[in-house]
Amino acid sequence: MARKPEAKPNVSKDELLQYYREMLLIRRFEEKAGQLYGMGLIGGFCHLYIGQEAVVVGLEAAAKDGDKRLTSYRDHGHMLACGMDPRGVMAELTGRIGGYSKGKGGSMHMFSKEKHFYGGHGIVGAQVPLGAGLAFADRYKGNDNVTFTYFGDGAANQGQVYETYNMAELWDLPVIFVIENNQYAMGTSVKRSTKSTTLFGRGLAYGIPGEQVDGMDVLAVKAAGEKAVAHCRAGKGPYILEMMTYRYRGHSMSDPAKYRTREEVEKIKSEKDCIEQVRDLLVQGGHASDEDLKAIDKEIKALVNEAAEFSKESPEPDLSELWTDIYA
Amino acid sequence: MATQVLMPALSPTMEEGTLAKWLVKEGDAVKSGQIIAEIETDKATMEFEAVDEGTVGRILVAEGTAGVKVNTPIAVLVEEGESVSDAAVAAPAAPAPVAAQPAEVAAAPAAAAPARSRPRPAGRTATCPRVFRPGP
């Protein structure tokens, strides 16, 4: 096993257990979603977050109440990490009335005012200017909230991202641009789509500081998140975090992922897996026994199964719902 | 408790597929996330991961079988503590067609495979990259 946890990270047992639980919830939830998709209970598109869990869990650990977040269509993990109810998320996937968008939004379109989650967006990169807009509102109101605006390495090649960078820095907007660099834009590797592969560095042209982070290490993510948050809350403007991460599954459920080798995926899984890293820290630090962790696994599994049951039992929206929540 | 592994739908339009290859055999331990089979759809060959942990108790559909309908049980997983022979007891206890179906399916494929139940809509090419949309 090539995983080598740092000797003694400065982190408490409770914190580690919390990250373990949260990352495991996302992974088990996504596996269950994949299974329900396979059974034909989830229609349309479905993009799983498996492998990237440390990014959202680490950054949520650096956030406070009132902070906002929004992302693209690979959004289930973000919702679970900010405390949205797994039952409501799963029921939205199955298109039921108990879902966050009453079953009318599906996998890519969910929102929660209560948890300040502003979507789930299906258009690649379109959430980036929206995130700056949310940050503009907070700046205007004079509070110290920050907005986490997530996008992928594919979206990082879109023009609107750079228009947003320019305005965000010009107006010192409290927005953290989180590039989830999972190395493949659908099936195109970063190296095949740009010669400027250090994505955070592009912000320097606009005066935005940033850094690359090991996105498979939840503690490194949290530390970088705290730094970025402090920068934003101090009124110094935006910050870019390029999270080096990896998705284990295909781009979507119907992607056979032939653009990379099975060995490449297996290598990351065995050497870098974010959940296994925390598991190692817990066991080697004497914080938890195998039995303790098994009990947590069981608990999380029950939570996910309950969400799955709810998503099957909740009724489909009534036909009259066709005419609600629409403009014009 | 033994769990059935069902033939998955791997795309929004898939109704049946070919069980191209088993990567595990009866008696093998399986971890969630482990690739256990290769499934061929009308568009591509996809890897199929296990969701539940356990031991492969029985394989119900042999590799190479074509025309396997989505949601057909293709294998039975048994949990830690259960013996593989328990699976033989568990499988028939599940809905009746379980035991019969694989045999039917195995007999049918040559005839069933070429007849596509639903023609692919024109203008939808699976290999076309969708730059601005998340894609299927």
Q: Pseudo-torsion of CA A199, A200, A201, A204, nearest 10°?
A: 140
Q: How is the beta sheet containing A147-152 ordered, strand by strand?
A: A68-70, A147-152, A175-181, A239-244, A210-214
Beta-carbon separation of A254 and B8 below 8 A = no
Question: Are B133 and A124 inside 8 Å of each other by CB?
Answer: yes
Mutate to test the interface with B, among A35, A36, A93, A297 (most CBs of B within 10 A): A35
A270 interfaces chain B, CB cutoff of 8 Å: no
The C-alpha atoms of residue B108 and residue B103 are separated, in whole angstroms, by 9
| A240-254 residue pLDDT tens | 999 999 999 999 988
- Residue contact A254–B6, C-beta within 8 A: no
Nearest alpha-carbon partner for A215 in A243, A239, A182? A243
User: In sequence order, which residues have a C-beta less than 8 Å from that of residue A244 and are 6 or more positions away?
Assistant: A181, A183, A212, A213, A214, A215, A216
What residues in A contact B46, CB-CB < 8 Å? 250, 254, 256
User: By the CB < 8 Å criterion, does B20 face chain A?
Assistant: no
Identify the residue among A254, A260, A300, A304 best suited for mutation to test binding to B, counting B beta carbons within 10 A and taking the highest.
A254
CB contact under 8 A, A108 and B11: no
Q: How far is A139 from chain B (nearest CA, A)?
A: 30
Nearest CA in chain A to B47: A256
Closest partner CB to B132 (pick from A43, A50, A124): A124
pTM (two decimals): 0.86
- The rounded distance, in Å, linking the Cα atoms of A122 and B8 is 25
Q: Evaluate if residue B136 carries a pLDDT over 60.
A: no
Positive or negative torsion for Cα A217, A218, A222, A225: positive
- Token pair for B8: 């998955």
d(CA B8, CA B68): 10
The predicted pLDDT at position A326 comes to 87
B59-71 pLDDT tens trace = 999 999 999 999 9
Per-residue confidence (pLDDT) for residue B41, from 0 to 100: 87
How far apart are alpha carbons A202 and A205 in whole angstroms? Answer: 6
Q: Which residue numbers in chain A have pLDDT < 70? A: 1-8
B130 touches chain A (CB under 8 A): yes
* Residue in A50, A124, A257 nearest the CB of B134: A124
Nearest residue on chain B to A41, alpha-carbon basis: B9
| A212/B30 Cα distance (integer angstroms) | 36
A-B Cβ pairs (cutoff 8 Å, strict): 78
Any CB–CB contact under 8 A between A2 and chain B? no
Contacts of B53 in chain A (CB under 8 A): none
Q: Which residues of B touch A24 (CB under 8 A)?
A: none
Average pLDDT of chain B is 73
On chain A, the residues whose CB falls within 8 A of the CB of B30 are none
In the prediction, which pLDDT does A10 show? 82
Burial B42-54, CB ≥16 within 10 A → b, else e: ebbebbbbbbbbb
pLDDT over 70 (residue B99):
no
> What residues in B contact A37, CB-CB < 8 Å?
8-9
* 3-state SS assignment for residue B59: strand
- pLDDT tier at B88 (50, 70, 90 boundaries)? low
Q: Which residues of A touch B18 (CB under 8 A)?
A: none
pLDDT in tens, B26-53: 999 998 888 999 999 888 899 898 888 8
Round to whole Å and give the CA distance between A293 and A113: 33
- State whether residue B135 is helix, strand or coil: coil
CB contact under 8 A, B131 and A124: yes
For residue B65, give how far its alpha carbon lies from the nearest alpha carbon of chain A (Å).
18
Question: Does A265 contact B at CB distance below 8 Å?
Answer: no
